Structure 1
Amino acid sequence: MIYVTLVDFFALLGHLFNFAAPALFLALLLALGGRFVGPKGASSLTWYAQAAINSVVGCAVLLAGLWWLGRDGRMLTYAALVLACASSQWLLLRGWR
């Protein structure tokens, strides 16, 4: 009985990680890339704080896409993910200045 619950728990963890993986990867890519592309000293936040904020925004977009479209992995959700994370990174780097 315990074996079944452990297998179910690890399956749940695998599903959650695979659901959030695009948001986490994009957040890390944007935070690390923003340090090289953006202006020097544009943000007062560290790269891992930027990655954390972008990953929260990305996971929220993925959850909204799952709720709105009824299943994950739709291209519209991924397009919204890229747009939302890029906008978040632009705001964090104070791109309007």
Structure 2
Amino acid sequence: MGLFDLLNHLLNFVAPALALGCLLAFVAPVFYRKQSLARGRIAQAAINSVAGALALGLALWLLGRDGKMAGYAALVLATATSQWWALRR
């Protein structure tokens, strides 16, 4: 496997975490008016994305393969928890 293939696999692995983290950070203020601890939406999107990527990595390590519904459930739970944690004060 070459470097380009490795980068392609890695980006495809974290793409759901990036998409959900950004979507949650930019849509949350519409439903919840409280200001987050991370001042910018970009920072909150990055925090959510990192939490989601860690959850996907942990699910891959525990379950042995990518793409299981339990891994995606962990992704949703991790990003929602990081968004909730940032909005509590």
Do the structures match in fold with TM over 0.5? yes
Partner of 1:43: 36
How many aligned residue pairs are there? 88
In 1, the alpha carbon distance for the partners of 2:43 and 2:29 equals 13
Q: When the two structures are superposed, what TM-score results if normalisation uses the length of structure 1?
A: 0.84
1:86 aligns with 2:77: no
1: CA distance between counterparts of 2:80 and 2:36? 15
User: Which of 23, 36, 42 is matched with 1:29 structurally?
Assistant: 23
Q: Retained in 2: the 8 A contact 1:35–1:47?
A: no
Normalised TM-score (structure 2)? 0.91
Q: Is 1:8 equivalent to 2:8 in the alignment?
A: no
Distance 2:86 2:31 in 1: 13
Structure 1 gap ranges (5+): 1-6
Percent of counterpart pairs with the same letter? Answer: 56
Compare CA radii of gyration and give the structure with the larger one.
1
User: Moved runs in structure 1, 4+ residues, more than 2 A?
Assistant: none
The CA deviation string for residues 13-39 of structure 1, in whole angstroms up to 9 with x for no partner, is: 110000000000000000000122211
